[in-house]
């Protein structure tokens, strides 16, 4: 899905992509032109962005037709309202909303997007148009339906009546992209590419509760946290990483993978432990989610098991020169809780081109190497699309960021 900048200020980076609810409105001072509300889900802009189109027949005093938007729980939507004035006079408009469910009203915020081309209330000269960008945030735990429409007058904005619970959209809000958040922040994220159970939510393997957050290989070395965290940000792209380990994985000499958390009788003796290397990446790939993944796809470029490259970006130290091998040094992750997470896990590169792979040893708090018979943890790294943004939350383990993605269309 390519990025667009349509209708927005030219200074805005092209990562801003809006779900387009194009509300075509013909404003006439003297003649009411009756039409029927027309819905289509195959509207296409010149940028090939598929969206929705609503055509309204209106009178100057008020508009009876409106669109219903369904906003998911703990999510946000950004959309445009386009208002055309095909008359020979100046007209005045106001973009309104209505929430029928009063129980969630305090959990909903509706405002003009800071980058909006036009205000939610104003005037349009003859044969002119305005485009209003609006953001809706729903921080409640249930889906809500919100009515959006436009009211108008041929006198002034003060003459516009907002009837039947309708309210003028006011205030200003903006998108905070996840890429602006700090490394180490926690994010509410759910894998959906073949993972199963609570592990898709980021719960560690063998998780019991807050006093026992799971382990691999040795129950004396338990992971210190659950969930997904921002491992690092590179080129405006967030790379999530599991806080602990979501599965324990070992591979035998035939390449068969085991999740039983027991040491196997044989190990992968192929060059650079090829079977085991691939098994780890395949298990990590199951935690991808196309709604948020880079480019909207799940492949080897959007999800993998943590490797030496990730380690170097997080710590600034390379595993290639062996300076961090069996070294309890702060530069090698000793005092970085993204690395030293309390438990055992694989780092998916071979040691000196052997059939041993790197792993984190929580007992010694350094990088070691081992053959694939050991049941150590998988830590998926998920590359997110640059369009993912923050809906709510502060990024702590108790209040992780809730996220949404502009390029996902609301088909309700």
- Claim to verify: residue 230 and residue 156 sit in the same structural domain: no
Report the SS3 class of residue 368: strand
pLDDT > 90 in the chain, percent: 62
What is the mean predicted confidence (pLDDT) over 200-208? 98
Do 251 and 152 share a structural domain?
A: no
Higher pLDDT, 197 or 1: 197
153 and 219, same domain (yes or no): no
Do 205 and 144 share a domain, yes or no? no
pLDDT, one tens digit per residue, over 281-320 is 999 999 999 999 999 999 999 999 999 999 999 999 999 8
Using CA of residue 394, residue 400, residue 405, residue 410, what is the dihedral sign? negative
328-340 pLDDT per residue, tens:
989 999 999 999 9
Query: In 3D, which of 91, 182, 160, 181 has the Cα closest to residue 130?
Result: 91
- Asked if 130 and 186 sit in the same domain, the reply is no
Q: Which residues contact 374 (CB under 8 A, 6 or more apart)?
A: 217, 250, 263, 344, 359
> What is the Cα–Cα distance from 52 to 30, expressed in whole angstroms?
29
Domain edge (last residue) among 147, 174, 201: 174
Kindly tell me if the per-residue pLDDT of 17 is higher than 70: no
DSSP string of 370-382, one letter each residue? E-TTS-EEE-EEE
pLDDT at 198: 97
Asked if residue 343 is part of any domain, the answer here is yes
Q: What domain range includes position 88? A: 21-174
Burial label for 182, CB within 10 Å (0-12, 13-18, 19+), is exposed
pLDDT digits (tens, 9 = 90+) for 37-54: 222 222 222 322 222 233
Number of domains making up the chain = 2
Residues 330 and 188 in one domain: yes
**Residue 58 pLDDT exceeds 80:** no
* pTM (two decimals): 0.73
Do 86 and 191 lie in one domain? The reply is: no
Mean pLDDT score of the chain: 83
Residues 217 and 94 in one domain: no
Percent share of the chain, pLDDT over 70? 83
pLDDT band at 369 (very low <50, low <70, confident <90, very high): very high
Higher-scoring residue by pLDDT: 108, 33 = 108
């Amino acid at each position: 899905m390519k990025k667009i900048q349509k209708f927005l200020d030219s200074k805005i980076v092209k990562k801003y992509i809006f779900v387009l609810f194009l509300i075509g409105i013909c404003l006439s001072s003297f003649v009411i032109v009756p039409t029927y509300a027309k819905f289509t889900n195959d509207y296409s802009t010149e940028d090939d962005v598929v969206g929705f189109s609503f055509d309204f027949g209106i009178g100057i005093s008020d508009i009876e037709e409106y669109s219903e938007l369904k906003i998911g729980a703990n999510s946000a939507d950004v959309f445009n309202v386009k208002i055309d004035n095909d008359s020979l006079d100046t007209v005045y408009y106001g973009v309104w909303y209505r929430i029928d469910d009063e129980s969630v009203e305090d959990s909903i915020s509706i405002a003009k997007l800071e980058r909006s081309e036009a205000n939610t209330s104003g005037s349009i000269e003859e044969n002119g148009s305005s485009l209003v960008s609006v953001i809706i945030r729903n921080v409640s735990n249930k889906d809500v339906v919100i009515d959006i429409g436009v009211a108008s007058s041929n006198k002034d904005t003060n003459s516009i009546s907002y009837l039947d619970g309708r309210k003028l959209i006011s205030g200003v809000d903006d998108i905070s992209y996840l890429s602006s958040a700090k490394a180490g922040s926690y994010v509410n994220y759910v894998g959906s590419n073949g993972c199963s159970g609570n592990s898709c939510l980021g719960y560690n393997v063998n998780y019991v509760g807050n006093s026992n957050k799971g382990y691999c290989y040795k129950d004396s070395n338990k992971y210190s946290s659950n969930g997904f965290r921002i491992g690092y940000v590179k080129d405006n792209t967030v790379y999530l990483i599991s806080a602990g380990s979501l599965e324990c994985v070992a591979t035998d000499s035939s390449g068969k993978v085991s999740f039983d958390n027991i040491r196997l009788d044989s190990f992968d003796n192929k060059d650079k432990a090829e079977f085991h290397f691939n098994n780890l990446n395949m298990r990590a790939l199951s935690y991808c989610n196309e709604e948020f993944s880079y480019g909207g796809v799940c492949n080897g470029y959007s999800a993998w098991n943590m490797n030496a490259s990730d380690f170097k970006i997080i710590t600034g130290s390379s595993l290639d020169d062996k300076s961090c091998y069996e070294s309890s040094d702060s530069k090698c992750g000793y005092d970085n809780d993204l690395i030293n997470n309390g438990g055992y896990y694989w780092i998916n590169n071979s040691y000196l081109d052997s059939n041993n792979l790197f792993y984190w040893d929580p007992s010694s708090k350094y990088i070691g190497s081992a053959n694939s018979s050991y049941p150590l943890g998988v830590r998926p790294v998920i590359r997110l699309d640059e369009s993912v943004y923050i809906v709510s939350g502060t990024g702590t383990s108790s209040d992780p960021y809730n996220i949404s993605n502009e390029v996902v269309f609301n088909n309700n």
